[in-house]
Structure 1
Amino acid sequence: MHDYINAKDTELWDVVLDGPYIPTREEYNETDKKKIEKNYKPKKILVCGIGSDEYNKISACETTKEIWDCLKTSHEGTTQVKESKVYMFTTQYENFCIKEGETIHEINSRFTSITNELRWLGEPISPSKQVQKILKVLPKSWESKMNAITEEKDLKVLTMDELIGNLQTVTTLKSSR
């Protein structure tokens, strides 16, 4: 929603976060009228962008800020719930290991789910740390490929996509032998 509303008009996001513009004088000038219009646009975008279940949660909200706060709490939970989720996903990240018989695709999907959750919760993990984490959890049978990657590539700029691509190439070569 953040990106969608900002793409429409960056001032609309201010209305979402700060609440509506309310003119202080009785007669509105043209600037006041435009600002008042901007009070309604993000509300319309939010309401049109949600389903009927979500609408029932926010139908009593009067301002865009109230709607946003309600949706945010509904999806992220309270601060305490958010902190609990951050702790849970951080623990999953720290304890991440490869399961017996897991494919590179499955490893990547599971790992990406954890790192995406942390990013959405405001706790992103840098791409280089993600690459290093995957390299650390590779089984001993991957040691030669891991050494080749660390020697050939600059781990500070190696992306997860490149790493996963390299690992999938090795898997394909091993299975074709």
Structure 2
Amino acid sequence: MRSYGKDIIEHGYYIPLDYQLNEVPITSWTDTQRQRFLLNSKSQNVLCALSKEEYVKEKCNKIILLTRKYELFTMDDGEDIQAMFGCFQTILNELRCLKKTFDNYDNIEKTLRSLSRKWRSLVTILRIVKNLDSMSIVELIGTLKKAKAFSTCKESSFRPASKSSSKAINSDTSYDKESDNESLDEDDQFAFISRKIRNIWKKMSGSD
């Protein structure tokens, strides 16, 4: 059987032929020819089983490797958000080709957790004002890019006041904040901050 199997690998399936190299009709096959022909399917099954086993093993190893890569993925310091998203999307695509997928919400959370420290304030705002369950990862990246551009624009347009006026303003502001905070319990403070953040986000959304 081993020699026949080797012949099949090297020369292809066995087909009974006569002396003139014409195919012998099935009705005229001898017992030996019939048995040898049956080895075609047996050898094929063995080869396919081995090939599938190796394929499954390789697939499992690759899924484990990519899943680990997914779990450890983080944004490098100074990395552009679009470049970061491209690397993350590559991992997702490779996993998808192997029939391994994550829920959209898991991908959203993973993306937000992977962002560098400079994005944390924007992530906090985003979690408050946006419904992450209904957002795609592409929409998330677009929103982050827009928020970052808005934040950078605001920072560049900021001009500090003179020291004397700044002190006076800070003094009045700190007094107002202290008096306001004294009258607010913890829940009210959170609601107050949330409203402020929503107002900021609305202004940012209307800046298109």
How does the TM-score come out when normalised to structure 1? 0.54
User: Per-residue displacement from partner, 1:98-130 (whole Å, max 9, x unpaired)?
Assistant: 112210110110000001111110111111111
* Unpaired segments ≥5 residues, structure 2: 1-43, 157-208
Inter-partner Cα distance in structure 2 for 1:140 and 1:100: 8
Task: Flag as ranges the 4+ runs of structure 1 deviating above 4 A.
Answer: none
State the one-letter code of the partner of 2:141: I
User: Per-residue displacement from partner, 1:4-31 (whole Å, max 9, x unpaired)?
Assistant: xxxxxxxxxxxxxxxxxxxxxxxxxxxx
State the shift of 1:174 in Å: 4.5
**Who is 2:9 aligned against?**
none
State the one-letter code of the partner of 1:147: T
State the one-letter code of the partner of 1:132: E
Q: Rg: which structure is higher?
A: 2
Inter-partner Cα distance in structure 2 for 1:99 and 1:149: 21
User: How do 1:105-144 and structure 2 match up within 5 A?
Assistant: 105-144=82-121
Inter-partner Cα distance in structure 1 for 2:108 and 2:145: 14
Inter-partner Cα distance in structure 1 for 2:70 and 2:80: 18
Inter-partner Cα distance in structure 2 for 1:116 and 1:88: 14
Aligned-partner SS, 1:78: helix
State the one-letter code of the partner of 2:59: K
Maintained 8 Å contact 2:85/2:141:
yes
Inter-partner Cα distance in structure 1 for 2:137 and 2:58: 29
How many residues are paired up?
105
**Who is 1:79 aligned against?**
56
* Unpaired segments ≥5 residues, structure 1: 1-65
More helix by share: 2
State the one-letter code of the partner of 2:130: K
Maintained 8 Å contact 1:128/1:156:
yes
Inter-partner Cα distance in structure 1 for 2:81 and 2:116: 12
Q: Does 1:103 align with 2:80?
A: yes
**Who is 2:141 aligned against?**
164
Maintained 8 Å contact 2:95/2:101:
yes
Inter-partner Cα distance in structure 1 for 2:144 and 2:110: 14
Inter-partner Cα distance in structure 2 for 1:116 and 1:139: 23
Maintained 8 Å contact 2:122/2:148:
no
State the one-letter code of the partner of 1:122: K
Maintained 8 Å contact 1:130/1:160:
yes
Maintained 8 Å contact 2:77/2:116:
no
Identity of aligned residues (%): 28
- RMSD of aligned Cα (Å): 2.3
State the shift of 1:140 in Å: 2.3
State the shift of 1:133 in Å: 0.4
Aligned-partner SS, 2:127: helix
Range that drifts further, 132-141 or 81-90: 132-141
Aligned-partner SS, 2:112: helix
User: How do 1:53-64 and structure 2 match up within 5 A?
Assistant: none
